[in-house]
Amino acid sequence: MKTLIITGASAGIGLATARRFAASGWAVTNISRRPCPLEGVNHLRGDLSAPGFLDALRKPLSVALQGADAVALIHNASRLLNDSAADTSSEQLRAVFEVNLVAVNALNRLAIAWMPSGSAILYVGSTLAEKAVPNSYSYVVSKHALVGMMRATCQDLVGRGIHTACICPGFTDTEMLRAHVPAQAMPSVAGMSAYGRLIEPEEIAETLFWAAVNPVINGAVLHANLGQVER
Ligand SMILES: NC(=O)c1ccc[n+]([C@@H]2O[C@H](COP(=O)([O-])OP(=O)(O)OC[C@H]3O[C@@H](n4cnc5c(N)ncnc54)[C@H](OP(=O)(O)O)[C@@H]3O)[C@@H](O)[C@H]2O)c1
């Protein structure tokens, strides 16, 4: 059985991705605070912001991983704050890193031991993994670091038959975007893609599925942003 382990499949890109993999017959295990609404998904309640979140999940995750023919581990959940380089405290920065980086590392450490050749570790980045905009400081910093983690994963797993990539979505129609962008600004945000629209979560899900089954892209940063218009 092929197995997807994903964080943040209760909503948005994660939910669409869980649906995409399940449609191709993969067993899906999700970690998030709210349940994944899809029938048949193994939901493990977990809060990635809690340093010991993995303690309670170690056993059920190893059950989900053991005996899998191939595993796709997708680090999708993340935290986005409105903050700036001038006023972010170390505590705030640490709290964002806990979800966006430290929990990712903890999951890798557990899962890699169980991952057979033919598996994949995919990181969901952002256009802000490679550039910065004002007032998304801790997110920009952590997404840049995620690219470094992906590249280091590629190098450290040489010879294991596990490939990795960072898929960087542009503006995608999800809760996270709606929480960050005021409704009146949404049309102009949609206009920042060359297609003049937001990306659908399903389009990112399809890209993640493709990346999971194509090891040739090992170590790649993939832009999935409909052609972001730079002004
Ligand atoms: N939407 C965009 O425009 C956009 C653009 C670029 C990159 N991205 C990236 O795409 C990924 C998915 O974002 P999205 O837009 O789909 O966001 P979303 O709709 O807000 O979903 C975020 C998911 O992350 C989970 N999550 C957040 N904090 C968590 C925590 N502490 N513990 C466990 N789970 C947590 C949420 O689950 P619970 O709330 O149930 O815990 C939810 O399932 C993120 O990495 C984001 O940075 C999004």
- Asked if the structure places residue 124 within a domain, the reply is yes
How many CB atoms neighbour CB 132 within 10 A? 14
- Asked if the structure places residue 229 within a domain, the reply is no
The pTM of this model reads 0.98
Alpha helices per DSSP H over the chain: 12-23, 58-65, 90-97, 103-112, 137-156, 175-180, 186-190, 201-212
CATH code (residue 32): 3.40.50.720
Q: Give how many domains the chain has, as a whole number.
A: 1
Measured in angstroms, how far is the CA atom of residue 144 from the centroid of ligand 1?
17
- Residues contacting residue 72 through CB under 8 Å, at least 6 positions apart: 2, 3, 4, 5, 6, 21, 26, 119, 120, 121, 122, 212
- Asked if the structure places residue 230 within a domain, the reply is no
Measured in angstroms, how far is the CA atom of residue 15 from the centroid of ligand 1?
10
Q: Are 166 and 129 in contact (CB under 8 A)?
A: yes
Tell me the per-residue pLDDT of 46-100, one tens digit each, with 9 for 90 and over. 999 999 999 999 999 999 999 999 999 999 999 999 999 999 999 999 999 999 9
Judged against a pLDDT cut of 80, whether residue 231 lies above it is answered with no
Measured in angstroms, how far is the CA atom of residue 159 from the centroid of ligand 1?
32
- Asked if the structure places residue 132 within a domain, the reply is yes
- Asked if the structure places residue 160 within a domain, the reply is yes
Q: Are 104 and 146 in contact (CB under 8 A)?
A: yes
- Asked if the structure places residue 130 within a domain, the reply is yes
User: Which numbered atom of ligand 1 lies nearest the CA of 33?
Assistant: 41
* Average pLDDT score over the chain: 97
Environment class of residue 88 by beta-carbon count within 10 Å: exposed (0-12), middle (13-18) or buried (19+)?
A: middle
Write the secondary structure of 86-113 as one string of H (helix), E (strand) and C (coil): CCCCHHHHHHHHHHHHHHHHHHHHHHHC
Give the structural domain span for 107.
2-224
Q: How far is the CA of 80 from the CAs of 13, 93, 115, 175, 224, in angstroms?
A: 15, 11, 30, 11, 19
Tell me the per-residue pLDDT of 182-213, one tens digit each, with 9 for 90 and over. 999 999 999 999 999 999 999 999 999 999 99
- Asked if the structure places residue 111 within a domain, the reply is yes
User: Which numbered atom of ligand 1 lies nearest the CA of 8?
Assistant: 43
Ligand 1 neighbours, Cβ below 6 Å, are: 7-8, 10-14, 32-34, 46-49, 76-79, 99, 124, 126, 169, 171-172, 174-177
User: Which numbered atom of ligand 1 lies nearest the CA of 10?
Assistant: 43
- Asked if the structure places residue 231 within a domain, the reply is no
Q: How far apart are CA 116 and CA 67, in angstroms?
A: 9
pLDDT of residue 97: 98
Q: Are 75 and 122 in contact (CB under 8 A)?
A: yes
